[in-house]
Amino acid sequence: MRVDPRFFVILGIFSSAAAQIFLKRGSGYDALRFTWVVYIFSSLILYCVAFFCYYIALKYYEISMIATIMMISILALIALYGLVVGENLNYQRVIGIVLAIASIYLVGRS
C-alpha cells in the first residue's frame, strides 16, 4: 500500500504545531516534575514525527515548495493553540492570518 505524499505534508504541519503547543504547556511547570517531563517528551516525539514527515515529503517535492507549504504550520499553530486555551480572534489576528496566507500563496507561485 502506497501512502499519498500529501499525507506526510499535512501530518508534518499538524505534528509540528502540536509539538510547539506541548512545549508551551510544559513551560508552565517546574523542570523535572512528572507533568513537565510528559509535556517535554510528548513534544519531542511530535517533533520527531514532523521531521520524519518533512523528510518523506522532500523525496516527492522540491524544497522550495515544501518550505513554503510548511509555513502553514505557523497558521495551524495559531488555530490549534487558540482552540486549546480559548483565545479569541480579534481583527488584527484575522488580518495577520489573511496576510500570512497571501504571502505563502505568492511565494509558492514564484
What pLDDT sits at residue 66?
A: 86
Contact 39, 29 (CB under 8 A): yes
Read off the C-alpha cell for 56.
Answer: 518523506
What pLDDT sits at residue 85?
A: 80
What pLDDT sits at residue 97?
A: 84
pLDDT single digits (tens) 66-109: 888 888 888 888 888 887 888 787 889 889 888 988 888 887 77
What does the alpha-carbon distance between residue 88 and residue 82 come to, in Å, rounded to a whole number? 7
pLDDT single digits (tens) 23-65: 999 999 999 999 999 999 999 999 999 999 999 999 999 888 8
pTM for the whole thing?
Answer: 0.83
pLDDT of residue 8 exceeding 90 = yes
**Domain coordinates of the chain in residue numbers?**
5-109
